Structure 1
Amino acid sequence: MWTRLRQLHRQRVALHYFALIRFFPISHLPIYFPLILFHGRSPAGAAQAASLNATTSPAFPPPISITQKESPRSLLLSPSSLIPENLKSPPPCSPKIRPFSFPVLYRSSFRFPVSIDVGAMSSILPKNETVQIREVWSDNLEQEFVLIREIVDDFPFVAMDTEFPGIVCRPLGNFRTSSDFNYATLKANVDMLKLIQLGLTFSDENGSLPTCGTDRGCVWQFNFREFDIQRDVFASDSIELLRQSGIDFKKNNEKGIDTQRFGELLMSSGIVLNDSVHWVTFHSGYDFGYLLKLLTCQNLPDTQAGFFNLIKIYFPTVYDIKHLMKFCNSLHGGLNKLAELLDVERVGICHQAGSDSLLTSCAFRKLKESFFNGSTEKYAGVLYGLGVENGQTAH
Structure 2
Amino acid sequence: MGSNVLIRQVWKHNYEEEMKAIRGFLCLFPIVSFSTRVLLCPDRVPASTDWGDIDANYATLRQMADNNKNNMVQVGLAFSSKRKEMPTCPETWQPCVWEFNLMPVDNGGNGRDLSEEEEQFLQKYCTGGISGRKLRSEGIHPRLFATDLSGLCTSLTSHKIDICWVVFKGGLDFVALLSQKVQTGLPTEREAFLRMVASYFPALYDMAALLGLKGEGNDGTLEGLARSVLLERDGREPHGAACDSLFALHMFMMTEGLPAGWAEKKPGVLFGVTSEEEAASALFLR
Say yes or no: TM over 0.5: yes
Which residue number corresponds to residue 146 of structure 2?
263
Equivalent of residue 310 in structure 1, options 187, 196, 205 = 196
| Helix, strand or coil at the partner of 1:160 | strand
Give the Å deviation of 1:246.
3.0
Give the Å deviation of 1:166.
3.1
Mapped to 2, the partners of 1:211 and 1:230 lie a distance apart of 34
Which residue number corresponds to residue 246 of structure 1?
129
CA offsets 1:53-92 (integer angstroms, 9 cap, x no match): xxxxxxxxxxxxxxxxxxxxxxxxxxxxxxxxxxxxxxxx
Which deviates the most, 158-167 or 290-299? 290-299
- Computed over aligned residues only, the root mean square deviation of the Cα atoms, in angstroms, reads 3.1
Mapped to 2, the partners of 1:128 and 1:240 lie a distance apart of 21
Give the Å deviation of 1:256.
0.4
Q: Unmatched 5+ residue regions in structure 1?
A: 1-125, 169-176
Q: Are residue 213 (structure 1) and residue 90 (structure 2) matched?
A: yes
Q: Are residue 349 (structure 1) and residue 224 (structure 2) matched?
A: no
Larger Rg, first or second structure (1 or 2)? 1
| Helix, strand or coil at the partner of 2:9 | strand
Q: Unmatched 5+ residue regions in structure 2?
A: 43-51, 106-111
Q: 1:357 is matched by which residue type in structure 2?
A: S
Give the Å deviation of 1:141.
0.5
Contact 2:119–2:132 (8 Å) recurs in 1: no
Mapped to 2, the partners of 1:162 and 1:154 lie a distance apart of 24
Mapped to 2, the partners of 1:309 and 1:245 lie a distance apart of 35
Equivalent of residue 362 in structure 1, options 250, 272, 279 = 250
Give the Å deviation of 1:203.
0.4
Which has the higher relative contact order, 1 or 2, with Cα contacts under 8 A spaced 6 or more apart?
A: 2
CA offsets 1:115-142 (integer angstroms, 9 cap, x no match): xxxxxxxxxxx8733x211000011000
Contact 2:123–2:129 (8 Å) recurs in 1: no
Mapped to 1, the partners of 2:232 and 2:118 lie a distance apart of 29
Q: Alpha carbons of 1:328 and 1:321: their partners in 2 closer, same or farther (altered >3 Å)? A: same
Mapped to 2, the partners of 1:315 and 1:127 lie a distance apart of 26
Mapped to 2, the partners of 1:273 and 1:313 lie a distance apart of 12
Mapped to 2, the partners of 1:133 and 1:244 lie a distance apart of 9
CA offsets 1:326-350 (integer angstroms, 9 cap, x no match): 2875683321123234343434434
Q: Are residue 197 (structure 1) and residue 83 (structure 2) matched?
A: no
Q: How is 1:283-362 mapped onto 2 (pairs within 5 angstroms)? A: 283-326=169-212, 332-333=218-219, 334-347=221-234, 348-362=236-250
Q: Are residue 230 (structure 1) and residue 114 (structure 2) matched?
A: yes
Q: 2:17 is matched by which residue type in structure 1?
A: Q
Q: Alpha carbons of 1:335 and 1:244: their partners in 2 closer, same or farther (altered >3 Å)? A: same
CA offsets 1:167-189 (integer angstroms, 9 cap, x no match): 49xxxxxxxx7111111110011
Q: Alpha carbons of 1:239 and 1:279: their partners in 2 closer, same or farther (altered >3 Å)? A: same
Identity of aligned residues (%): 31
Q: How is 1:16-165 mapped onto 2 (pairs within 5 angstroms)? A: 128-129=3-4, 131-165=5-39
Contact 2:153–2:201 (8 Å) recurs in 1: no
Mapped to 2, the partners of 1:342 and 1:156 lie a distance apart of 24
Which residue number corresponds to residue 174 of structure 1?
none
Give the Å deviation of 1:218.
1.7
Which residue number corresponds to residue 173 of structure 1?
none
Q: Alpha carbons of 1:223 and 1:188: their partners in 2 closer, same or farther (altered >3 Å)? A: same
With normalisation by structure 2, the TM-score equals: 0.78
